[in-house]
Chain A
Amino acid sequence: MATAVEYWRWTESRWTAPDVDWRAGKVITAGVDVGSVSTQAVIVVDGKLYAYSSMRTGSDSPQSAQKAMDWATEGTGMTIDNVRYVVGTGYGRVNVPFANRTITEIACHARGANFIYGPSVRTVLDMGGQDCKAIRCDEKGKVSSFLMNDKCAAGTGRGMEVFADLLAVPIEDVGSLSLSVAEEPPPVSSTCVVFAKTEATGLLRAGWPKNRVVAAYCSAMAHRVVTLLERIGVEAEFAITGGISKNVGIVRRIEKELGVKALEPGLDAQLAGGLGAALFAYALAARAAS
């Protein structure tokens, strides 16, 4: 029996800074972002990024947090005992067994975006697994206001996973495929992922090619989050974090509709939450020491 292809499955990753000797560092801190779809563990040595892992969240949040931390430290010789302070964030933040404190993902994404994109960022769009947030922040990455989408999976990573499976397109190819259309099709329903899926099924049956259907969905998602952004008001510079930031089809459409270019990330913007948490942990460790 053939194994079913899981088109929604994105590539898990890990990284360690090759030129950093953590043993020479004074303060090692970590942030663990347990989201509904993915978990990131980020390790910071003296305020500088040292290592990270990004993997799927399983059904057991404490175990996901532990696995992500183990994978981030794999081969480095570092153990949890070497980490002075850990901040848990994300949907499952209360389930990080080794966290010293929890901080909400909105605060962490703003702080992480400040690190990734620089202090000029004033508006952050975090497109996560099950919700998206429009965040306004200051030059230090401190949140000044925020808005979240309502009770619906449309415009989220989970919604995109559903579509990747429906269309049998690997999730990492969805964005570029959606940009291959000669003409932008009308968007599908942007109010509900279930309705969007039903509509897409109808379009496929009507003979639409995959790229056109996926373009219609990316367009709907982009429009939905643009509405959220317009409610909070977009102030430059503008940056996108979360897993959907990697979907070029959605990012380009958001930029077009907003008339604002999003900053290019220097590293994986899906790490923003965990990275922000690790940086908060660094500040808290410093405060505790003083």
Chain B
Amino acid sequence: MAETTDVMRWQTKPLECWRLAKEIREQYYRNYAQAREKGGLRWVGGAWSFGAIPCGLGDDVYGLTSEPYGATIAFNKDLALECQEAAEKYGFARDLCSYMRNYWGSVLLNKYAWGGPFPKPDFVWQDHICCSHAKWYQVVSELEGGIPYFCIDVAVGPYHERTDSRVEYMVGQMHDGIQWLEKITGRRYDDEKLIEAVKNEIRCTSLWAEICTLNKAVPAPLDEKSMYSLYVHLVLNRYTPEVVSFYQTLRDEVKDRVANQIAACPTERCRLMTDTQPPWAFLKIFRYMESYGAVSIGSLYTYGLMGIYDDQPDGSWGAKVTPMERGVAIKTRDQALRAYAEWTLAKPLWQHFYNPALKSRMMARLAREWQVNGVLLHYNRGCEGLSIGIAENRLALLKEGFPVMPFEGNMGDEREFDDTRVMSRIDTFMETLGLRKLY
């Protein structure tokens, strides 16, 4: 290691809560698989579905969210290929959402990524933010023998244009959804459990925004590759007290790292940000860039997929003040659903569906406030939803003076990633940023 010692600029150490993060994740997938053994229920739906609502059915109701499940498969190249080929053999086109194809393939093969057969869900609890999400679970419902399917339409426009009637449109659907849940499960709905779950979700998503804001520090206490393993709970079970507790622990640890200048990447000389889901089978690109002293400090995707932000008194971007902190009463079902809808509509990654300029503004702000030197844009063929407008985002970032390197790939289908060419492109980008390989 003598060769690398002189290139280390900062002290570093592993995250203390890393093991806990892994345990919570594994427990989540185990809970879903074993729900029936405990007499419980299983639901499936997108990571953005209103997961706090089924919590009112009882503590033994477990969800399986589709995108992180699709990503889990993507990380396992062999299984991913098997799933994709199964979906293609069934007749689905290769250019559809790759998470969706991974998920469908897993159902078709009856193979659970965590071992054993795919655990059959009792119902689908979904929301409709992009076209793939609407069709995804229609197919799942059919493949699973016609299980009940409820979908909430959330396409009510960007947050800054929200009106009472738009929020009411969502709240109304949520009320209908609760009645539907009672009907299809035969269970009595508990509003107290709903209220607690909604508050937990709001706490978690605010805590994550606080953690990401701490990454403005130089050196960055967290690198994006590690953050992928840390944000995942927000797309799994953010409505549980265990996950709130985890993010409090993580927030305190990251604060400590900032105070003591503990870097995620000891070679940090250059700060980068990315966009959209990464090519999961090729996360090595992040470690490769670190050999140049370049660390990806995050992205609007990593920060804003679930984190909720707002303008701070000093004009910077930071965690949004929660309705509980603002003293908003959340004591009834209607109050909980209203707070839930209002809060969720502020999600950064829901804004660009209406106009890429909204995303460009947030990206440029992130780049400035997090002191970014360059941007890698993943033209992700696997996700139409998050890639929409990315070419416009590139132009906007260039206009703001940030060097940008686009690369093509696919978050879940490795067949569309050109390993050699992307690495070569990274070499050139590092050169243009004035960086040389350190080791």
Can you offer 14 A-B residue contacts whose CB atoms are under 8 A?
A103-B431, A104-B427, A104-B431, A131-B421, A143-B428, A144-B432, A145-B398, A145-B403, A146-B428, A146-B432, A147-B406, A148-B421, A151-B416, A231-B391
Q: Decide if B425 is an interface residue (CB 8 Å cutoff).
A: yes
Select from chain B the residue with minimum beta-carbon distance to A135.
B428
How many whole Å from A59's CB to the nearest CB in chain B? 16
Contact A151 B408 (CB under 8 A): yes
Contact A143 B408 (CB under 8 A): no
Within A108-157, the residues touching B (CB, 8 Å) are 131, 143-148, 150-151
Contact B418 A151 (CB under 8 A): yes
Contact partners of A103 in chain B: CB under 8 A: 431
Contact partners of A147 in chain B: CB under 8 A: 406
How many whole Å from B36's CB to the nearest CB in chain A? 44
Show the binding face of A for B, using Cβ within 8 Å. Answer: 91, 103-104, 106-107, 131, 143-148, 150-151, 231
Complex Cα gap A146–B429 (Å): 8
Contact partners of B404 in chain A: CB under 8 A: 145
Q: Decide if B165 is an interface residue (CB 8 Å cutoff).
A: no
Q: Decide if B424 is an interface residue (CB 8 Å cutoff).
A: yes
How many whole Å from B151's CB to the nearest CB in chain A? 34
Show the binding face of B for A, using Cβ within 8 Å. Answer: 391, 398, 403-404, 406, 408, 416, 418, 421, 424-425, 427-428, 431-432
Complex Cα gap A147–B398 (Å): 13
Select from chain B the residue with minimum beta-carbon distance to A130.
B421
Complex Cα gap A107–B432 (Å): 8
How many whole Å from B393's CB to the nearest CB in chain A? 13
Complex Cα gap A106–B405 (Å): 13
How many whole Å from B279's CB to the nearest CB in chain A? 12
Contact A143 B421 (CB under 8 A): no
Contact B408 A107 (CB under 8 A): no
| Among all A-B residue pairs, the 3 with the closest Cβ atoms | A104-B428, A106-B428, A151-B418
Select from chain A the residue with minimum beta-carbon distance to B403.
A145
Contact B416 A143 (CB under 8 A): no
Contact partners of A144 in chain B: CB under 8 A: 432
Complex Cα gap A131–B428 (Å): 14
Contact partners of A91 in chain B: CB under 8 A: 424
How many whole Å from A144's CB to the nearest CB in chain B? 7
How many whole Å from B401's CB to the nearest CB in chain A? 11
Select from chain B the residue with minimum beta-carbon distance to A103.
B431
Known: A145-B403, A146-B432, A151-B418. 13 other contacts (CB 8 A): A91-B424, A104-B424, A106-B428, A106-B431, A107-B428, A107-B431, A107-B432, A131-B421, A145-B404, A145-B432, A148-B421, A150-B408, A151-B416
Complex Cα gap A107–B391 (Å): 24
Contact partners of B432 in chain A: CB under 8 A: 107, 143-146
How many whole Å from B373's CB to the nearest CB in chain A? 14
Q: Indicate whether A151 sits within 8 Å of B431 (C-beta atoms), given known contacts A145-B398, A145-B403.
A: no
Contact partners of A146 in chain B: CB under 8 A: 428, 432
Complex Cα gap A45–B38 (Å): 80
- Complex partner residue of A143 from B398, B406, B431, CB under 8 angstroms: B431
How many whole Å from B387's CB to the nearest CB in chain A? 13
Contact partners of B428 in chain A: CB under 8 A: 104, 106-107, 143, 146
Contact partners of B416 in chain A: CB under 8 A: 151
Complex Cα gap A146–B286 (Å): 20
Complex Cα gap A145–B432 (Å): 7
Complex Cα gap A87–B398 (Å): 31
Select from chain B the residue with minimum beta-carbon distance to A107.
B431
Complex Cα gap A52–B424 (Å): 25
Complex Cα gap A220–B391 (Å): 22
Complex Cα gap A106–B433 (Å): 13
Contact partners of A143 in chain B: CB under 8 A: 428, 431-432
How many whole Å from A191's CB to the nearest CB in chain B? 13
How many whole Å from A224's CB to the nearest CB in chain B? 15
Complex Cα gap A82–B205 (Å): 64
Complex Cα gap A150–B428 (Å): 16
Select from chain A the residue with minimum beta-carbon distance to B415.
A151
Select from chain A the residue with minimum beta-carbon distance to B405.
A146
Complex Cα gap A91–B421 (Å): 9
How many whole Å from B375's CB to the nearest CB in chain A? 12
Select from chain A the residue with minimum beta-carbon distance to B395.
A231
How many whole Å from B381's CB to the nearest CB in chain A? 9
Complex Cα gap A146–B406 (Å): 9
Complex Cα gap A148–B418 (Å): 12
Complex Cα gap A144–B427 (Å): 14
Complex Cα gap A103–B416 (Å): 27
Select from chain A the residue with minimum beta-carbon distance to B418.
A151
How many whole Å from B395's CB to the nearest CB in chain A? 9
Contact partners of B424 in chain A: CB under 8 A: 91, 104
Contact partners of A106 in chain B: CB under 8 A: 428, 431
Contact partners of B406 in chain A: CB under 8 A: 147
Complex Cα gap A104–B432 (Å): 10
Complex Cα gap A231–B424 (Å): 20
Select from chain A the residue with minimum beta-carbon distance to B409.
A151
Complex Cα gap A106–B398 (Å): 19
Contact partners of A151 in chain B: CB under 8 A: 408, 416, 418, 421
How many whole Å from B62's CB to the nearest CB in chain A? 40
How many whole Å from A256's CB to the nearest CB in chain B? 25
Contact A148 B431 (CB under 8 A): no
How many whole Å from A114's CB to the nearest CB in chain B? 15
Complex Cα gap A147–B428 (Å): 10
Complex Cα gap A91–B427 (Å): 12
Select from chain A the residue with minimum beta-carbon distance to B434.
A142
Select from chain B the residue with minimum beta-carbon distance to A146.
B428
Complex Cα gap A116–B56 (Å): 72
Complex Cα gap A229–B75 (Å): 35
How many whole Å from B423's CB to the nearest CB in chain A? 11
Complex Cα gap A103–B406 (Å): 20
Complex Cα gap A148–B424 (Å): 11
Most buried by B among A104, A144, A231: A104
Select from chain A the residue with minimum beta-carbon distance to B417.
A151
How many whole Å from A86's CB to the nearest CB in chain B? 17
Select from chain B the residue with minimum beta-carbon distance to A151.
B418
Contact B398 A148 (CB under 8 A): no
Contact partners of A231 in chain B: CB under 8 A: 391
Contact partners of A107 in chain B: CB under 8 A: 428, 431-432
Complex Cα gap A194–B108 (Å): 32
How many whole Å from A153's CB to the nearest CB in chain B? 12
Complex Cα gap A190–B293 (Å): 38
Contact partners of A104 in chain B: CB under 8 A: 424, 427-428, 431
How many whole Å from B12's CB to the nearest CB in chain A? 28
How many whole Å from B356's CB to the nearest CB in chain A? 16
Contact partners of B427 in chain A: CB under 8 A: 104
